[in-house]
């Protein structure tokens, strides 16, 4: 995949000295640097804790100093893996399925919708866009309760479909795709292809879509995180814990931990493992986190 067809992402570039400020001495600005590092330390407080706490045995968890490493990581890991026949790994696989398939479909639907809204003038265009965006404002529970009841009527409650299907349509994704299509696909290119006799669908498939790929990767990533982190929808839809995503699974474990504190070490180890895939996705695909799309700061 290449970003050559898109405006270069500015935010991944290191903070270059501004042009024209060359005469200024090249001293480090220490106060801002230290304040930023302080912010980074605050953000790492719980992350470093979960890493050390996952190494603590049951006895060490509440007795040793917060950040002192313990001796029980492998025990915690094997205990978590064998908990109820390895249901934790089932939760992780479910999360990957919900987030992966959901985000892929979401990027596809957002792409085709955003393209239509950006590149065609047609009756009802702004009405469609506004109605879709108003979807963002709907409290998730106002949707989830009737969605659950309707899914029950359709015999789909407590199934994979009940979590996957409502996650596909993403107003944010459509908004991002529209902005990206407007910036990345020149009207002249579309017109030229049309003169060459390309049909509209083929025009989208072979001309517009390749130009939209970097933007759609961003939509995929945002939607992947949104679905992976979602709690309310799967919590309401699912009853069978073999279909739980990892958020709902960890929550159920934490609930039991209130009566059975022995489970706390499992909750902590599970929490650590559950954030690793997203952190990896983050670090691995940094240049695709085009948050600038959100603020509409794309320049064509």
Partner 1 sequence: MASPPPAARARRRRGSLAPYGFLGPATVLFTLFFALPIGFAVYLSLRAVKVKGLGLGSHARTEVWAGLSNYTSALADPELLSGSGRVLLYGALLVPTMLGAALFFALLLDVPRVRFGAFSRLVIFLPYAVPGIVASTLWGFLYLPQVSPGYYLLTQAGMSGPDLLHGNGLYLAMANIAVWGGTGFNMIVIYTSLRALPAELYEAARLDGCSELQIALRIKIPLVAPSLVLTFFFSMIATLQVFAEPMTIKPLTNSMSSTWSPLMKVYRDAFVQGNIYSAAATSVVIAAATLLLSFGFLKLVNKRANGGS
DSSP 44: H
Query: Is residue 128 near partner 1 by the rule CB under 8 A?
Result: yes
Q: Which is nearer to partner 1, 144 or 213 (CB)?
A: 144
Query: Is residue 292 near partner 1 by the rule CB under 8 A?
Result: yes
Q: Stretches 76-84, 179-187, 210-218, 228-236: which one binds partner 1 (CB under 8 A)?
A: 228-236
Query: Is residue 42 near partner 1 by the rule CB under 8 A?
Result: yes
Task: Looking at residues 192 to 211 of the shown chain, list those that interact with partner 1 (rule: CB under 8 A).
Answer: 194, 199-201, 204
Assess contact for 103 and 223: CB atoms under 8 A: yes
Q: Stretches 77-85, 86-94, 180-188, 231-239: which one binds partner 1 (CB under 8 A)?
A: 231-239
| Cβ neighbour number for residue 5 with a 10 Å cutoff | 12
Task: Looking at residues 151 to 190 of the shown chain, list those that interact with partner 1 (rule: CB under 8 A).
Answer: 165-166, 168-169, 174
DSSP 186: -
Query: Is residue 66 near partner 1 by the rule CB under 8 A?
Result: yes
Whole-number Cα distances in Å, 250 to 11, 167, 201: 34, 20, 44
Task: Looking at residues 68 to 87 of the shown chain, list those that interact with partner 1 (rule: CB under 8 A).
Answer: none
Assess contact for 157 and 237: CB atoms under 8 A: yes
Number of residues that bind partner 1 (CB under 8 A): 108
SS3 content of the chain, % helix, strand, coil (to 5): 70, 0, 30
Q: Which is nearer to partner 1, 77 or 285 (CB)?
A: 285
CA distance 150 to 156: 9
Query: Is residue 33 near partner 1 by the rule CB under 8 A?
Result: yes
């Amino acid at each position: 995949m290449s970003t050559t067809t898109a405006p270069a992402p500015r935010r991944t570039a290191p903070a270059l000295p501004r042009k024209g400020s060359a005469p200024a001495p090249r001293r480090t600005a220490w106060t801002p640097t230290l304040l930023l590092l302080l912010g980074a330390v605050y953000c790492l407080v719980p992350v470093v804790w979960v890493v050390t706490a996952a190494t603590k045995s049951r006895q060490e968890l509440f007795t040793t100093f917060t950040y002192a490493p313990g001796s029980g990581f492998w025990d915690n890991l094997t205990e978590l893996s064998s908990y109820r026949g390895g249901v934790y790994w089932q939760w992780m696989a479910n999360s990957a399925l919900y987030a992966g398939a959901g985000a892929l479909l979401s990027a596809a639907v957002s792409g085709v919708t955003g393209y239509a809204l950006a590149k065609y003038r047609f009756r009802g265009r702004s009405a469609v866009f506004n109605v879709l965006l108003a979807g963002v404002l709907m409290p998730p529970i106002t949707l989830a309760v009737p969605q659950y009841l309707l899914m029950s009527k359709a015999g789909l409650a407590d199934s994979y479909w009940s979590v996957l299907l409502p996650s596909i349509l993403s107003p944010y994704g459509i908004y991002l795709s529209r902005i990206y299509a407007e910036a990345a696909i020149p009207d002249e290119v579309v017109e030229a292809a049309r003169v060459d006799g390309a049909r509209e669908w083929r025009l989208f498939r072979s001309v517009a879509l390749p130009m939209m790929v970097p933007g759609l990767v961003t939509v995929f990533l945002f939607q992947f995180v949104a679905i992976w982190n979602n709690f309310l929808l799967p919590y309401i839809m699912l009853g069978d814990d073999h279909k739980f995503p990892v958020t709902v699974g960890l929550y159920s474990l934490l609930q039991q931990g209130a009566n059975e504190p022995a489970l706390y070490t499992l909750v902590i180890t599970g929490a650590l493992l559950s954030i690793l895939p997203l952190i990896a996705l983050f670090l691995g695909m940094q240049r695709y986190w085009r948050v600038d799309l959100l603020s509409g700061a794309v320049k064509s």
